[in-house]
Structure 1
């Protein structure tokens, strides 16, 4: 990928560049899924974390779990979850804004003092479009979405995934960006777009 392509992946609607990765080991917990699908989601998270060269753990010493994935049918279900408003500030207002936007997904990141990812709350409303997706594709897409702070609409209509022999797989160029972003030489959080040049150089060197 060219540096300009990578810059687009981490640029938000305001034009600001942000590429942050996880600093601490990832500890996932999943709500709202049956056991069979739960295993698929956790397996996808493990695969993407391994791709990044990062680590998982059984528990986070401060939060217990630092990656929380919620699956549900209606956004209003979030308002009935006990103590969720302690994790997501202004929850009623957030839910109202998400509903108004017609979104089926929303992620809320928390950050360390240096800007690296500390925690992620991922909310997924299973609408007709998502319900039609195979479980492995939905799980892998969610795992990719939480591993870095991608910009809104980063992957365009193609998405981050491809299909090979009926199986959902991560597009090679997206996998390359994830691996490069987790190079320990690079900072845990970058807000300068020149960071994309450093990612591009690492991807080219690894090709």
Structure 2
């Protein structure tokens, strides 16, 4: 991953460069799945957090859980979840828009005063296409996309995942970007594209 490729991952459709990482330990909670799938989802989150060199915790002092993943069959179900509209403003209109667009997933991030990620709400509408995706693949894909604030078009054409034989894995170059972004000397948030040069330099060092 050279600096140009890294920059593309964090340059939004507006042309702005923006990357943010978690500034606190991640505390996941999963809704709408059975116990077996719950273990798969939490395992994928833990694997990506470990890859980043970040931390997980049992509880978040401010929110209790700060990574909430919701699995459901219809966008109309979400506004019926008690108090969810307090965490995600304008939830009703948002769900109506996503349903009209035929979307099957959405991530809403919240940030602290410094711009670091403090919470993420992941909504996964299990439509016909997603219902055919193995739980391991779906979970790893969501874990990869919540660990950093990527560009809104970073994975529009190319998945963060790849096949290694019969096993779905995180693409090595994406894993390298995650590890570099969580280097202790890197900032929690960056809005200048020179940040991409620093990421690329750290990736190069990893390969030496």
User: Contact 2:10 / 2:151 at 8 angstroms: preserved in 1?
Assistant: yes
State the shift of 1:156 in Å. 4.0
Matched, 1:83 2:83: yes
**Could you say which residue in structure 2 is the equivalent of 1:121?**
121
**Could you say which residue in structure 2 is the equivalent of 1:5?**
5
**Could you say which residue in structure 1 is the equivalent of 2:185?**
185
Aligned equivalents of 1:128 and 1:164: distance in 2? 25
CA displacement, residues 58-93 of structure 1 (integer Å, 9 cap, x when unaligned): 000111000000011110100111100000001111
**Could you say which residue in structure 1 is the equivalent of 2:200?**
200
CA displacement, residues 77-115 of structure 1 (integer Å, 9 cap, x when unaligned): 001111000000011111122123221111110001110
5 Å matches for 1:17-36?
Answer: 17-36=17-36
State the shift of 1:29 in Å. 0.1
**Could you say which residue in structure 2 is the equivalent of 1:43?**
43
User: Greater shift after overlay, 125-134 or 177-186?
Assistant: 125-134
Aligned equivalents of 2:6 and 2:98: distance in 1? 27
State the shift of 1:157 in Å. 2.8
SS in 2 for 1:54: coil
State the shift of 1:121 in Å. 0.4
**Could you say which residue in structure 1 is the equivalent of 2:142?**
142
Aligned equivalents of 1:127 and 1:58: distance in 2? 31
**Could you say which residue in structure 2 is the equivalent of 1:52?**
52
**Could you say which residue in structure 2 is the equivalent of 1:100?**
100
Q: Which runs of 5 or more structure 2 residues have no equivalent in the other structure?
A: none
TM-score (norm 1): 0.97
Aligned equivalents of 1:12 and 1:95: distance in 2? 22
Alignment coverage as a number of residue pairs? 207
User: Contact 2:7 / 2:196 at 8 angstroms: preserved in 1?
Assistant: yes
For the aligned residue pairs, the C-alpha RMSD in angstroms reads: 0.9
SS in 1 for 2:54: coil
User: Greater shift after overlay, 26-35 or 148-157?
Assistant: 148-157
SS in 2 for 1:26: coil
Aligned equivalents of 2:123 and 2:10: distance in 1? 20
User: Contact 2:13 / 2:153 at 8 angstroms: preserved in 1?
Assistant: no
